[in-house]
């Protein structure tokens, strides 16, 4: 069986987890602080704040830029459900705009048309690791006076072309970028998340919000030689990362450049092999983007049955996943819980129905890749004739 994904994690991470456990400090403490520093250096962000997962990061980011009940947040339906859920968690109405058919990312032209007097933020997604057109989005957000938050859950290690050349996702290019360290992502801490920003005021707010609004951190209280009494500045959350997770994350961060390089190698090889496969379009990388290829999404030609192709591949011993879901077609999002623009969401729906994600992980071999593509070609041919 060729699995769909497999984290690249080993003895170094196990030793780091052991070090954290035996240190006697196991929740948010010195390892978290060190991971934050190393992560901010890696992406070139002045501030990084670690949290329990990316959904928590998105929620905190929205709250921190002032999103409140009655507001609207422009985003995509075509994303993992957590993107839309975070908007509703903040009490706002998601306004879904369609994606670009080639990049599967938010269409910046539609964002401008979706702005209303209630819009407080744009929440764009670097879907499957592919950077969206962040330059165009930043121009719209600035012109309209709304915050720009990047759902970079999948995009650690991706780059975008900016004024200084290739720049890592997470500097950030909007106001805040939010990352996930779930095992389907390149860098994993089991579960985990990170917010990056250039603004010290936002970073200070994240640190309050993730720890019950407490004004003194546990490490500061621990180090104090005179008695310190904390206060609780505002009602907040427990979104802490543990030191065990952070210790693992620090090791994973060292592997990141090699992870990206290997995935780009594998993706280039997939693209070459897929040239020969009728009925399948390989994903494209737009000129402003250098993706980490967190996932490799191929598009099936019209008339092919996505489920049948995936089942046939599973029968061949190849695991795949269907394309990104669309929140507006899920039972959790009945009419009235979101709105869209006149342009509708047809490209998002088509992308969901026609794309499948192929196995891609660090240790995937060339022979396994050949098997994946052979199986895909066979499955498409069979779907065409039934």
Q: Could you give the string, one character per residue 103-142, with x where binding to ligand PLP holds by CB under 6 A and - elsewhere?
A: ----------------------x-----------------
* Residue of 25, 35, 80, 270 that binds ligand PLP (CB under 6 A): 80
- What residues pair up with 106 in beta bridges, in sequence order? 99
Answer for which of 28, 75, 79, 252 binds ligand PLP (CB under 6 A) is 79
SS (HEC) of 21-89: HHHCCCECCHHHHHHHHHHHHHHCCCEEEEECCHHHHHHHHHHHCCCCCCCEEEEECECCCHHHHHHHH
What is the maximal distance between C-alpha atoms in the chain? 78
Please answer whether residues 250 and 31 qualify as being in contact, where contact means their C-beta atoms are separated by less than 8 angstroms.
Answer: yes
Which H, E and C letters describe 203-260, residue by residue? HHHHHHHCECCECCCHHHHHHCCCCCCCCECCCCCECCCEHHHHHHHHHHHHHHHHHH
Number of residues engaging ligand PLP in binding (CB under 6 A): 14
8 A C-beta contact, residue 39 and residue 251: no
Stretch that binds ligand PLP, among 52-60, 100-108, 203-211, 270-278 (CB under 6 A): 52-60
Task: Decide if residue 29 touches ligand PLP (CB under 6 A).
Answer: no
Measure the CA–CA gap between 359 and 4, rounded to whole angstroms. Answer: 4
Contact map string, positions 150 to 189, toward ligand PLP, x by CB under 6 A: -x-xx-------------------------x-x-------
Among 13, 35, 36, 55, binds ligand PLP (CB under 6 A): 55
Which of 17, 20, 82, 122 binds ligand PLP (CB under 6 A)? It is: 82
Nearest to 32 by CA among 274, 207, 230, 290: 207
Applying CB under 6 A, the span of 76-84, 114-122, 223-231, 245-253 interacting with ligand PLP comes to 76-84
Q: Which residues have CB under 8 Å from 53's CB, separation 6+? A: 180, 181, 182, 191, 192, 193, 239
Q: Which is nearer to ligand PLP, 54 or 160 (CB)?
A: 54
Segment 318 to 357, residues that bind ligand PLP, using CB under 6 A: none
Shortest distance, position 324 Cβ to ligand PLP, whole Å: 8
Query: Residues interacting with ligand PLP, by CB under 6 A?
Result: 53-55, 79-80, 82-83, 125, 151, 153-154, 180, 182, 193
């Amino acid at each position: 069986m060729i699995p769909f994904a497999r984290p690249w994690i080993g003895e170094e991470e196990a030793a780091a987890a052991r070090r954290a456990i035996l240190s006697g400090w196991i929740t948010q403490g010195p390892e978290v602080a060190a991971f934050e520093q190393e992560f901010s250096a890696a992406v070139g962000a002045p501030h990084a704040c670690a949290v329990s997962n990316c959904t928590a990061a998105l929620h905190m980011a929205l709250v921190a830029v002032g999103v409140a009940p009655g507001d609207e947040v422009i985003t995509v339906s075509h994303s993992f459900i957590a993107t839309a859920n975070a908007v509703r968690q903040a009490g706002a109405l998601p306004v879904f705009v369609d994606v670009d058919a080639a990049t599967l990312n938010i269409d910046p032209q539609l964002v401008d048309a979706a702005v209303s007097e209630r819009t407080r933020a744009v929440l764009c997604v670097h879907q499957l690791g592919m950077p969206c057109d962040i330059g165009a989005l930043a121009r719209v957000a600035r012109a309209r006076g709304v915050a720009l938050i990047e759902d970079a859950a999948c995009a650690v290690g991706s780059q975008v072309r900016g004024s200084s050349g290739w720049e890592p996702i997470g500097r950030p290019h909007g106001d805040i970028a939010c990352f996930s360290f779930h095992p389907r992502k390149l860098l994993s801490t089991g579960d985990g998340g990170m917010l990056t920003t250039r603004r010290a005021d936002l970073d200070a707010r994240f640190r309050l919000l993730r720890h019950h609004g407490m004004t003194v951190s546990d490490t500061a209280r621990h180090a104090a030689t005179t008695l310190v009494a904390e206060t609780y500045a505002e009602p907040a959350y427990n979104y802490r990362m543990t030191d065990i997770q952070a210790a693992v994350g620090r090791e994973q961060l060292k592997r990141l450049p090699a992870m990206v390089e290997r995935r780009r190698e594998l993706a280039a090889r997939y693209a070459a092999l897929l040239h020969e496969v009728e009925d399948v379009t390989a994903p494209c990388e737009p000129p402003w983007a250098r993706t980490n290829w967190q996932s490799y999404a191929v598009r099936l030609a019209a008339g092919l049955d996505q489920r049948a192709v995936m089942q046939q591949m599973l029968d061949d011993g190849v695991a795949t996943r269907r394309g990104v879901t669309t929140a507006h077609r899920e039972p959790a999002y009945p009419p009235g819980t979101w709105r869209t623009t006149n342009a509708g969401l047809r490209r998002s729906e088509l992308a969901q129905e026609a794309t499948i994600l192929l196995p891609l992980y660090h240790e995937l071999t060339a022979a396994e890749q050949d098997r994946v593509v052979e199986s895909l070609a066979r499955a498409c041919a069979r779907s065409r004739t039934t």
